[in-house]
Amino acid sequence: MADVLPDDLLAFVLARLSPRWLATSRRVCRSWRDAIDGHRLLRADLLPRSLGGIFLRANNVMFPLLFARPSSPPAIRGDLGGIFRAMDTMELDLGINDHCNGLLLLDDFVLNPATGRWACLPEPPAPDLPEFCYNMFLVFDPAMALHYEVVSIPEVLPGCYPLSQQLKESEWPPSPWVLRVFSSRTGLWEERTFVREGHGPPIGTIADVQSQYYHFHRGRNACSIFCRGRLYVECQNGFVSSDDQPEWVLRCDKNLRAMLPSRRSYRERGNGPWLLRYLLHDDEDGYKEDALLQDTHHSRLGNPHQPAVLMSPQRSRFQPPTGCLEPAALPSPLITADWWLELAVIRATQPMEWSSDMEDDPKSQDEAGGCNGDVDERDRILELMGHYIDFLGFHPYKEVSPPPPPPRGARPPPTPPYGNAGLLLAFCRGHAPHDVTHA
Partner 1 sequence: MEVDKGKGEAEETRKVAEADRDTVTLKSSDGKLFEVSKEAAARLSTVLAGMIAGGSIDDNGTDLKQIGSEALENVVDYCNKHANSIPSAALISSSISFNTAPFKEPEEWERKFVDRLSHDALFDLVEAANFLGMERLLDVTCHKISEMMKGKSPDQIREVFNIKNDYTKEELEEIRQELAWAFYDD
Question: What single DSSP character describes residue 347?
Answer: E
DSSP string computed for 116-168: TEEEEPPPPPPPS-TTSEEEEEEEE-TTT-S-EEEEEEEEPPPTTS---HHHH
Which of 132, 134, 287, 418 binds partner 1 (CB under 8 A)? It is: 418
Which of 215, 411, 432, 437 binds partner 1 (CB under 8 A)? It is: 411
As beta bridge partners, residue 73 has: none
Exposure of 405 by Cβ count < 10 A (0-12 exposed, 13-18 middle, 19+ buried)? middle
> Does 4 engage in binding with partner 1 (CB under 8 A)?
yes
Site map (CB under 8 A) of partner 1, residues 175-204, x = contact: ---------x-xx-----------------
Cα gap 16→13, rounded to integer Å: 6
Q: Which is nearer to partner 1, 82 or 270 (CB)?
A: 82
* Strand duo 188-196 + 248-250: pairing: parallel
Which of 53, 64, 229, 320 binds partner 1 (CB under 8 A)? It is: 229
- Closest contact distance (angstroms) between CB of 197 and partner 1 is 19
Contacts (CB under 8 A) with partner 1, residues 80-109: 103
User: Closest Cα to residue 50, out of 101, 4, 93, 108?
Assistant: 101
List strand residue ranges (DSSP E) for 264-319, in order.
274-282, 286-287, 293-295, 309-310
Q: Which is nearer to partner 1, 17 or 94 (CB)?
A: 17
Q: What single-letter amino acid sits at 276?
A: L
Which of 61, 303, 415, 438 binds partner 1 (CB under 8 A)? It is: 415
As beta bridge partners, residue 390 has: 57
Cα gap 15→241, rounded to integer Å: 31
- Closest contact distance (angstroms) between CB of 354 and partner 1 is 35
Which of 338, 357, 361, 390 binds partner 1 (CB under 8 A)? It is: 338
Site map (CB under 8 A) of partner 1, residues 285-324, x = contact: ----------------------------------------
Measured in whole angstroms, the distance separating CA 137 from the mean position of its chain's CA atoms is: 9
- Closest contact distance (angstroms) between CB of 26 and partner 1 is 6
Contacts (CB under 8 A) with partner 1, residues 5-64: 5-6, 9, 12-14, 16-21, 23-30, 32-33, 42, 44, 49
Q: What single-letter amino acid sits at 304?
A: P
* C-alpha dist (Å) from residue 7 to 12, 14, 255, 421: 9, 10, 47, 28
Which of 38, 219, 409, 433 binds partner 1 (CB under 8 A)? It is: 409
Determine the 3-state secondary structure of 99 from DSSP.
strand
The stretch near partner 1 (CB under 8 A) out of 56-64, 209-217, 302-310, 404-412 is 404-412
| Kind plus residue range of the DSSP H or E element containing 34 | helix 30-38
Judge contact between 360 and 291, C-beta under 8 A: no
Determine the 3-state secondary structure of 272 from DSSP.
coil
Judge contact between 335 and 227, C-beta under 8 A: yes
> How many positions of this chain bind partner 1 (CB under 8 A)?
59
Site map (CB under 8 A) of partner 1, residues 362-401, x = contact: -------------------------------------x--
> Does 129 engage in binding with partner 1 (CB under 8 A)?
no
Contacts (CB under 8 A) with partner 1, residues 238-257: none
Q: Which is nearer to partner 1, 307 or 403 (CB)?
A: 403
Judge contact between 172 and 206, C-beta under 8 A: yes
Cα gap 145→20, rounded to integer Å: 9
Judge contact between 237 and 229, C-beta under 8 A: no
Q: Which is nearer to partner 1, 16 or 254 (CB)?
A: 16
Which of 90, 92, 160, 410 binds partner 1 (CB under 8 A)? It is: 410
- Closest contact distance (angstroms) between CB of 368 and partner 1 is 32
> Does 143 engage in binding with partner 1 (CB under 8 A)?
yes
Which residues would be at the binding site for partner 1 (CB under 8 A)?
A: 1-2, 4-6, 9, 12-14, 16-21, 23-30, 32-33, 42, 44, 49, 103, 110, 112, 115, 117-119, 143, 146-148, 184, 186-187, 228-229, 283-284, 338-339, 399, 402, 409-411, 414-419
